[in-house]
Structure 1
Amino acid sequence: MEFRENQAIYIQIAEYVCEQILLKKWELGEKILSIRELAVLMQVTPNTVQRAYDFLQQKQIISNKRGIGYFTDADALERILAFRKEQFIANELPVFFRNMYLLDVDFKEVNSLYQQFINDNFKK
């Protein structure tokens, strides 16, 4: 995974976990990858993944069943959406708006491109 320089890696891993849940690749209430498995997949140390999992537990998005592993919380969807929306508004939207202003891009053009993106990537 390519990590962004302007954000802590453990937060980016937490966002990845949330994205897997939002995309329904990891179901609510189901077991998720172990710390070691995700560390190998993300090419980071297990300590970094542990920090991400601790963060997600604090947000009540995942939980640890001692001796069994980590599971997504059955009712975590609203918390995931709130967390991801908060991250998006704080980190990505200001950059997007700045570029729109500098490049003189209007919302009609963005909306058209957004609709095309949704059709191309999420509607089957």
Structure 2
Amino acid sequence: MEFQNGKSIFLQIADSITDKVVNGEFPAGKKIPSVRELAAEMGVNPNTIMRTYSELQAMDIIENQRGIGYFVNKNAPKIILEGKREEFFNKVLPEFLKQAQLLGISATELKKHIEKINS
């Protein structure tokens, strides 16, 4: 994974994990890689992964079963999708519409292009 500037590495790893949960690579109820395994795979310090896992636990995405490992919470896909939808409607869409307005793109023109993409 290549990390981007401007966002903490642990948050970028958390985003990667949530994407894997949503796309089914890390199914609900299943074990995810250990802290050491993921740290080695990502080429980061295990403390970075611990911070990632702590963040995901706080969001109820994963849970720690002491002595066994970390598992995807059964409600994680729903929690993640709700959060991503909220982010889309509150951050992404307003910025997109602002750009469209600056470019003089009408709602009709946007609708036409959306229909073209969806067909």
Cα distance, 1:112 vs. partner?
3.2
Aligned-residue identity in percent: 38
Counterpart in the other structure of 1:79? 79
Farther-moved stretch of structure 1 (77-86 vs 37-46): 77-86
Counterpart in the other structure of 1:50? 50
Please tell me the root mean square deviation across aligned C-alpha atoms, in Å: 2.3
Is contact 2:21-2:76 (8 Å) kept?
no
Task: Give the alignment partner of residue 116 of structure 2, picking from 112, 118, 124.
Answer: 112
Cα distance, 1:36 vs. partner?
1.4
Question: Given the two structures, how large is their TM-score scaled by the length of structure 2?
Answer: 0.77
Cα distance, 1:84 vs. partner?
2.8
Counterpart in the other structure of 1:27? 27
Counterpart in the other structure of 1:121? none
The amino acid that maps onto 2:73 is: D
Question: Given the two structures, how large is their TM-score scaled by the length of structure 1?
Answer: 0.74
Deviation sequence 1:59-97 (CA, Å, 0-9, x none): 111001111110001122221113333444566556544
Q: Give the structure with higher Rg (CA).
A: 2
Farther-moved stretch of structure 1 (90-99 vs 8-17): 90-99
Unaligned runs of 5+ in 2: none
Unaligned runs of 5+ in 1: 117-124
How has the CA–CA distance of structure 1 residues 38 and 5 changed in structure 2, closer, same or farther, with 3 Å as cutoff?
same
3-state DSSP of counterpart to 2:75: coil
In 2, the alpha carbon distance for the partners of 1:78 and 1:20 equals 13
